Amino acid sequence: MKKGNLCNLKSCFLCRNCLKHWLPAIEVHKQNLVIKKGQKIFEEGDPVKGIYFLFKGRVKVHRKWGDEKQLILHFAQEGDIIGYRGLGSNKVYPVSATALDEVILCFIDIAFFETSLQVNPRLTYTLMQLYANELQLAERRIGNLVHLDVKARVAETLLMLKKDFGQNQEGYINITLTKQDLASYAGTTYETFFRMITELEQEKIVLLSGKDIAILKEAKLEKLIE
């Protein structure tokens, strides 16, 4: 699985937030990996061996509840760090990460990453900020699940995806997901998600074309959320 030097020591979260003179150390320690579509990068319950930086492709971060049910917590894209959810007190990944397309990433073992944190206070600070933002987001989601109906949550989901991934020339959101994955991200079932997005389509608020979704009336989606 190892591959050549795909890392340019510039683009990833780690390289962006390190002291210049630390880069050679990264150069020595990094391991580039290629993961095929549908394969797991790590799995919930695995001991945390390290941290991954995503160069290319998309990754879903998800977790199972029981045997059947699952929830998607995050979609990662180029430049993102993956596996930081495992950096809490107990060093076990609380989530799985699965490649949505062919993915190229850089693996940094946990020992070297911890050293990097010690050497680069800016890295630690930036990571702290990332967590702070993610926590804020997660807690907003908690409230949305408690207090908004599914349609509003679907609206929120679409707005978030547009914000995170942007849209192409034709206005379609720049990420391709199955309806089941969208449902698992919105925190509902496939059937209900389908019904809600169909409603939104009939109301001309969104436009669907296969797996592609375009937001036609952003204001109306925002109004649904309140």
Partner DNA sequence: GCAAAAATATGATATAAATCATATTTTATG
Partner DNA sequence: CATAAAATATGATTTATATCATATTTTTGC
Residues forming contacts to DNA in the complex (CB under 7 A) are 38, 149-151, 178-180, 187-192, 194-195, 198, 210-211
Q: Of 170, 152, 172, which Cα lies nearest the Cα of 161? A: 172
Query: With CB cut-offs between 5 and 8 Å by kind, which of DNA, its own copies, none does residue 31 bind?
Result: none
- What does the alpha-carbon distance between residue 47 and residue 18 come to, in Å, rounded to a whole number? 26
Residue 223 touching its own copies (CB under 8 A):
no
Q: Where are the alpha helices (DSSP H) in the chain?
A: 13-16, 23-29, 110-119, 121-147, 150-165, 179-186, 190-202, 218-225
Q: Where are the alpha helices (DSSP H) in 168-214?
A: 179-186, 190-202
Residue 222 touching its own copies (CB under 8 A):
no
Nearer to DNA, 91 or 204 (CB): 204
Query: With CB cut-offs between 5 and 8 Å by kind, which of its own copies, DNA, none does residue 125 bind?
Result: its own copies
Query: With CB cut-offs between 5 and 8 Å by kind, which of its own copies, DNA, none does residue 150 bind?
Result: DNA
DSSP 125-167: HHHHHHHHHHHHHHHHHHHHHHHS-HHHHHHHHHHHHHHHH-B
Residue 115 touching its own copies (CB under 8 A):
no
Q: Which amino acid is at 177?
A: L
Give me the least distance between CB of 174 and its own copies, in Å please.
22
Residue 134 touching its own copies (CB under 8 A):
yes
- What does the alpha-carbon distance between residue 190 and residue 113 come to, in Å, rounded to a whole number? 39
Q: Which residues bind its own copies (CB under 8 A)?
A: 63, 65-66, 69, 71, 73, 84-85, 87-89, 94-95, 117-118, 121, 124-125, 127-129, 131-136, 138-148, 187-188, 226
